[in-house]
């Protein structure tokens, strides 16, 4: 297993690749320990994934200026503090709120998040902040026992939920 505990910013505005989480032989964990910004991409393993998993654990505020999983999927993003994704392509197998915090989708171009998004005990807030370009949430958002507390969409934003449960969006707490 490999673990990197991040306590500083990585890269600068000119970087294109910042981190590759290689899980061939075991787990690869990027643990965000203090407020951090990553300017390049975060990618998973190229080729067939190994016995381990690739995980980003945002225990402190994290901003990713570029994409996550743009070349190779990252298996898990755990939201334990405010996390802001600014990249055009965020290819993550599963995004889970581990605390009652915020996931901001806030880019300067069209954005796609291909991830299931779940929470425990109705925690977590999904904020679509990108009001000038299409944001596509291609994965399932919530489930019967894993609902998000709140979804906020900026005024004038165009957002497409490809796998939303329409009944849950109409009646998020099933109070009928």
Tell me the average confidence (pLDDT) per consecutive run of 10 residues in the chain, 176 residues long: 77 74 82 92 72 89 94 93 96 94 96 93 92 95 86 94 65 49
What pLDDT is attached to residue 46?
59
Alpha helices in the chain (DSSP H): 166-170
43 in Cβ contact with 72 (< 8 Å): yes
Which residues is 141 bridged to in the sheet?
117
> Quick one: pLDDT at residue 18?
74
**Coil, strand or helix: which one is 142?**
coil
Q: What is the pTM of this model?
A: 0.88
Token pair 């806030």: residue: 106
């Amino acid at each position: 297993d490999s673990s990197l505990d991040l306590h500083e910013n990585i890269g600068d505005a000119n970087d294109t690749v910042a981190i590759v989480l290689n899980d061939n032989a075991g787990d690869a964990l990027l643990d965000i320990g203090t407020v951090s910004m990553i300017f390049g991409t975060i990618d998973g393993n190229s080729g067939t994934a190994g016995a381990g998993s690739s995980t980003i654990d945002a225990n402190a505020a994290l901003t990713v200026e570029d994409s996550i999983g743009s070349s190779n999927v990252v298996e898990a993003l755990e939201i334990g503090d405010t996390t802001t994704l600014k990249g055009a392509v965020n290819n993550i197998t599963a995004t889970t709120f581990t605390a009652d915090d915020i996931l901001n989708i806030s880019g300067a171009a069209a954005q796609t998040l291909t991830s299931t998004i779940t929470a425990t005990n109705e925690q977590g807030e999904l904020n679509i902040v990108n009001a000038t370009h299409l944001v596509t949430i291609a994965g399932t958002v919530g489930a019967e026992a894993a609902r998000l507390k709140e979804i906020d969409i900026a005024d004038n934003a165009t957002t497409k939920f490809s796998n939303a449960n329409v009944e849950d969006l109409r009646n998020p707490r099933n109070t009928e």
